[in-house]
Chain A
């Protein structure tokens, strides 16, 4: 089977070669599409993983056991600009620097590339301008 997904690495495992294990121990093909580490040292990898069905399951179980969160890529965080009041309350909540107050315009900017889909902003935004879409 073949699936595109987002992998979230907590700080504790960010330096472990987990993708290498996926390839070597679980016989999976890992095609990294996007990877970044935020200032809090949490990592996010968007990858296409393919291989035998059982290997695929076992590989994911292995990742989960190491504290890695996996989500299907279809899940995205959307900034509903029309609902955003540009208050900036989210800017101190977002751990990835994806929601930033731009000065001197005092307008908030959302950078989806930096978003690690932690979902903290969903309930932190008083105007509910942030949404999860699948």
Chain B
């Protein structure tokens, strides 16, 4: 039996001796050498995903102008950031659009610019126009403020995403006669296409499906920099159906993540516009999985063929909340470019970038090999049961 601790792995990273492979590379290693031998050899498996992730945004501290100001309305390039937190703090959400955007009044709306784009512009070092107003108080007399600002001008800026890295997600299809514009992209009528958004065998939560190493404080790749898992994400549903390999066959776990925006890059935080739906942010996220034992290694060897994804109709079942799944297809089929539904061959497309996921897993591997990135042991791992999520905040009697 192989057993490793976080401390032992970090010691090897420090000595430049850790064996790090990506979640793609580990698959062929296990095929060639088997679980046991691979587990004895490999210390860390890196994962990655790069896709539009709503429930993303940034806490920004804008700094005080002189005279001081208690900003009660804040706009950045015309996009409102929620200001009901403190004098000059705001939360800029990825899906917020300018009040002047016609949205779906001219259907399908273009949503060319939103909160995600502001975040991208900020990390790209661009100037954005800050427009703030206030009612004025004795301690904060200023009532309005307009200034072109950059991320450098902000004393603090933290990316805080409350739901990222969905563990398995629907494939969207359209059974109706008209084109649908959804957060799963454009769905052409009569099963014209099938859209998905996951990196499959590279996906962080599909490589540690039972969250043995993922939890509060897990250090991760986030937006091109370093971040941490800060909680389980909203809608975390660990009791979704799972296959024998532990991999959920419906949307299941999610992550809340946090990281300093100032060390992130435009390459991995990209504003996106989903026709007829809205604006969002594409987030690059990667997680290193420590091979503490053979079971974890076995999980990381999950291949596209082993991942089953639910196909859902976005003309009826999804919008009406019917919860019907048409069929389950493997991620291998999805990634091949076509799936078969009934007797129909349907072309597939992704909203997340597999090439990007691959690059993230590779970058994380490099960081660890170079001794620039160490692993952290979580304070507690993500709940695997609804009891843990159930806001009783306790697992097995222990308060979380």
Contact = CB atoms under 8 A, between A and B. Distances in A.
Query: Do A and B interact?
Result: yes
B51 interface: yes
B355 A86 contact: yes
Interface string B345-369: 0011111111110100000000000
B275 interface: yes
Interface in A83-126: 85-93, 101, 103, 105-107, 123-124, 126
A89 B195 contact: yes
Interface stretch (B5-13, B53-61, B75-83, B185-193): B185-193
Contact of A85 (B347, B348, B356): B356
A32 B228 CA distance: 60
A87 B353 contact: yes
Contact of A126 (B50, B192, B274, B336): B274
A107 B355 CA distance: 6
Contacts of A126: 52, 185, 272-274, 280, 282, 351
B24 to A, nearest CB: 10
A85 B353 contact: yes
B272 A92 contact: no
Interface in B199-236: none
Given A103-B336, A126-B185, A126-B272, A85 B354 contact: no
Contacts of B336: 103
A86 B356 contact: yes
B63 interface: no
Nearest to B338: A92
Contacts of B108: 123
A87 B350 contact: yes
Nearest to B185: A89
B358 A89 contact: no
Contacts of B188: 92
Tell me which of A92, A103, A106, A124 has the highest count of chain B C-beta atoms within 10 A of its own C-beta: A92
Contacts of A124: 185-186, 275
Tell me which of B192, B349, B352 has the highest count of chain A C-beta atoms within 10 A of its own C-beta: B349
B112 interface: yes
A125 to B, nearest CB: 8
Contacts of B52: 126
A92 B353 contact: no
Contacts of A103: 335-337
A90 B195 CA distance: 11
B270 interface: yes
Contacts of A107: 355
Given A89-B185, A92-B193, A103-B337, A127 B270 contact: yes
A88 B356 contact: no
Contacts of B270: 85, 127
Contacts of B50: 85
B22 to A, nearest CB: 14
A82 B361 CA distance: 20
B110 interface: yes
A21 B347 CA distance: 39
B332 to A, nearest CB: 11
A66 interface: no
Given A92-B188, A124-B186, A87 B193 contact: no
A126 B113 CA distance: 11
Contact of B186 (A85, A86, A93, A105): A93
A86 B282 contact: no
B172 to A, nearest CB: 11
A94 to B, nearest CB: 10
20 contacts: A85-B50, A86-B355, A87-B353, A87-B356, A89-B195, A90-B349, A91-B337, A92-B347, A92-B348, A92-B349, A103-B336, A105-B355, A106-B335, A106-B354, A123-B275, A124-B275, A126-B52, A126-B185, A126-B274, A127-B270
Given A101-B337, A124-B275, 20 more contacts: A85-B50, A86-B353, A86-B356, A87-B349, A87-B353, A88-B350, A89-B186, A89-B195, A89-B351, A90-B349, A91-B337, A92-B195, A103-B336, A106-B353, A106-B355, A123-B110, A124-B185, A126-B185, A126-B280, A128-B112
Interface of B: 50-52, 108, 110, 112, 185-186, 188, 192-193, 195, 270, 272-275, 280, 282, 335-337, 347-356, 358
